[in-house]
Structure formats: structure tokens, C-alpha cells
């Protein structure tokens, strides 16, 4: 058997990651790697000065994203990424402040901050990664867990209604709202790039597979099968009435750019 010496090659995004911190802590099959790479490519595409870009995360699996990007980055408290980012942006309006956090962090414990930031229309871009579950703590019910889905704290199935994030933030006043899955990388990158350049409060929800907990507990198959499901069951409906865009267990996932409007931003910054 002959051996082939592997040549060490650089990834085009290496320069924008804290390589000394890799490998990351995310499970194999998690969508976060795809989403983080999409964000970085969108950022490069946006033409923003990277010295003036700050990333703020809360706590959770997605919350670790801030720690991997080679930018000014802040890993804050659970739920408080939005108000921290609000202070940062107001103190230095030159900054493009991006929030990269999960559904539990942004919509449960940080839900009040999220809607108020949308209402104020402060110029922030939120990338909200929704995996329908609390992954870091081992698979508990979240505010986005679909009705009837199983988690470690809803063994018999979730009896609650889940939040429909685009509907929520659009109602609160966000000027840019989109949802894509981790299987729609082209659309996702285009949306994030648009959101980064939008003046005002923008949010891109990204549906991400958590095969370790959400997938396993709801018998959704491997990470690859979950990605196939997203590919085969995502429908692009940008003009849908957002109240009909809720995500149901085993249902279609409505995706698209839903909101792209103009409204004065807070302090016009």
C-alpha cells in the first residue's frame, strides 16, 4: 500500500477564524458550521471594513460563534446579547454590530429585548439560529419547539404553541426579516449580506439541524437525513402572510425574504 502525503491547504475563511481555537465544540452534523461560514462569506461580500464589525453572542451552542470569528467579539450573558449590542452600537455608531445567537437565547430569555430592539429599529443585524431545542444543556424544551415534539422535559410531547420568529419580529417592527434553512446556503448568504447593509433592525432566522438531541428524540434520522428533509420540504414563499409561516413538526418549512421595508432607524445611525 502506498501512502500519499497530504498537503496542508488553507481554507479561504481561515483568515477570519480564530484557528487556534479549532476544532469547535459543535457536534458533528450540527448546522452551525455551515451557518458560520455563510455569515463570513456574506460579510466579505458586503464589503464592510472588518475592523469596524463586532459580533455579539449570548449563551448556548450558537452563542459560541462569537468566540470563533476573528473580529471584535463578545460572548455575553444568557439572553442579553441584544441590549449589550444596543449599548455597543449607540456608543460607536461607526460599528456594524452583528448578533449571532440561538433561538432559546434570543426568543425565550432574551425575547423581551428582541422585540424592543425591533420596535426601536436600532441598526443591528441578528442571525438567529433555530434548532428547536436547547442543545448546550442537553435537549430541553425551547420557545420554538414545535407542538408535540419531544424533548428531555417534554417526554410525552410539547403541549405548547411555539414562536413563529419572523411573524414576531415583523410585528414588532423589524425592517428586514428572512428565514432560510442550513440547506439553502446561497439564499442564506444573499440574505445575510442584504441584512448587513440594511439600515435598521434586521433578522435572519436560520433553521439548523440538531441531530444529537432534536433529531434523535423526534426520530428525524441522522444529520444528513435532517438536511435532506430541509432540502425537500422547504418552500420559498416570500409573500406569505407571516402568521401562516409557523413551523410544525413534520410539516413544510416556509422560507424566504419576508420583510424588506424602510423605516427611520433609532437616532438615524
Partner 1 sequence: MSEGKPLVGEFFLSGDEACAEGAISAGCRFFAGYPITPATEIAERMSDRLPEIGGTYIQMEDELASMAAVLGAAWGGVKSMTATSGPGFSLMMENIGLGVMLETPCVVVDIQRAGPSTGLPTLSGQGDMMQARWGSHGHYSIIALAPNSPQELFNLTIKAFNLSEKYRVPVLIMSEASTGHMYEKVVIPPPDKIELIHRRKPTVPPDKYLPYKADADLIPPMAVAGEGYRFHVTGLTHDERGYPAMNAEAQEKLIKRLVEKIEKNKADIIQVEEEGIDDAEVVVCAYGVPSRVAILAIEQAREGGIKVGMLRLITVWPFPEEKVREIARQVQAFVVPEINYGQIALEVERCACGRAKTILVPHMGGAVHSPEMILEAIRQAVE
Helix ranges restricted to H, the chain: 32-46, 81-91, 103, 111-120, 165-172, 185-197, 216-217, 223-233
- Provide the pairing of β-strand 96-102 with 53-57: parallel
Nearer to partner 1, 50 or 217 (CB): 50
Look up residue 256 and give its three cell numbers: 424566504
Using CB under 8 A as the binding rule, whether residue 260 contacts partner 1 is answered as no
**Going residue by residue from 104 to 143, which x/- string records binding to partner 1, judged by CB under 8 A?**
--------xx--x---------------------------
CB atoms within 10 A of CB 124: 27
Among 32, 34, 65, 85, binds partner 1 (CB under 8 A): 85
Please, what is the minimum distance in Å from the beta carbon of residue 33 to partner 1?
18
- The answer to whether the beta carbons of residues 61 and 102 sit under 8 Å apart is yes
Nearest approach, Cβ of 165 to partner 1 (angstroms)?
A: 18
Return d(Cα 74, Cα 55) in angstroms, integer.
Answer: 6
Interface with partner 1, residue 79, by CB under 8 A: yes
Check whether the bond before 260 is cis (ω within 30° of 0): no
Least separation in angstroms between CB 123 and partner 1:
13
Nearer CB in complex with partner 1: 93/251: 93
Interface residues with partner 1 (CB under 8 A) are 18, 20-21, 50-52, 54, 56, 66-67, 70-77, 79-80, 82-92, 94-95, 112-113, 116, 267
Amino acid at each position: 500500500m502506498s501512502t500519499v502525503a497530504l498537503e496542508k491547504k488553507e481554507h479561504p475563511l481561515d483568515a477570519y477564524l480564530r484557528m487556534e481555537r479549532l476544532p469547535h465544540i459543535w457536534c458533528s452534523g450540527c448546522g452551525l458550521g455551515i451557518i458560520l461560514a455563510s455569515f463570513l462569506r456574506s460579510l466579505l461580500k458586503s464589503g464592510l471594513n472588518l475592523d469596524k464589525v463586532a459580533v455579539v453572542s449570548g449563551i448556548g451552542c450558537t452563542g459560541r460563534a462569537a468566540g470563533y470569528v476573528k473580529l471584535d467579539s463578545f460572548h455575553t450573558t444568557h439572553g442579553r446579547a441584544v441590549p449589550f449590542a444596543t449599548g455597543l452600537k449607540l456608543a460607536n455608531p461607526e460599528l456594524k454590530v452583528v448578533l449571532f445567537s440561538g433561538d432559546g437565547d434570543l426568543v425565550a430569555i432574551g425575547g423581551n429585548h428582541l422585540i424592543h430592539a425591533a420596535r426601536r429599529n436600532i441598526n443591528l443585524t441578528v442571525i438567529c439560529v433555530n434548532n428547536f431545542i436547547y442543545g448546550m444543556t442537553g435537549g430541553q424544551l425551547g420557545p420554538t419547539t414545535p407542538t408535540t415534539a419531544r424533548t428531555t422535559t417534554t417526554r410525552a410531547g410539547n403541549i405548547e404553541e411555539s414562536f413563529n420568529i419572523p411573524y414576531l419580529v415583523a410585528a414588532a417592527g423589524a425592517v428586514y426579516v428572512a428565514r432560510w434553512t442550513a440547506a439553502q446556503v446561497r439564499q442564506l448568504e444573499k440574505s445575510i449580506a442584504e441584512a448587513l447593509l440594511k439600515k435598521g433592525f434586521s433578522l435572519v432566522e436560520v433553521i439548523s439541524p440538531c441531530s444529537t438531541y432534536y433529531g434523535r428524540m423526534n426520530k428525524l434520522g441522522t444529520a444528513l437525513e435532517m438536511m435532506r428533509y430541509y432540502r425537500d420540504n422547504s418552500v420559498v414563499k416570500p409573500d406569505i402572510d407571516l402568521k401562516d409561516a409557523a413551523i410544525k413538526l413534520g410539516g413544510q418549512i416556509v422560507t424566504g425574504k419576508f420583510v424588506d421595508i424602510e423605516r427611520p432607524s433609532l437616532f438615524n445611525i
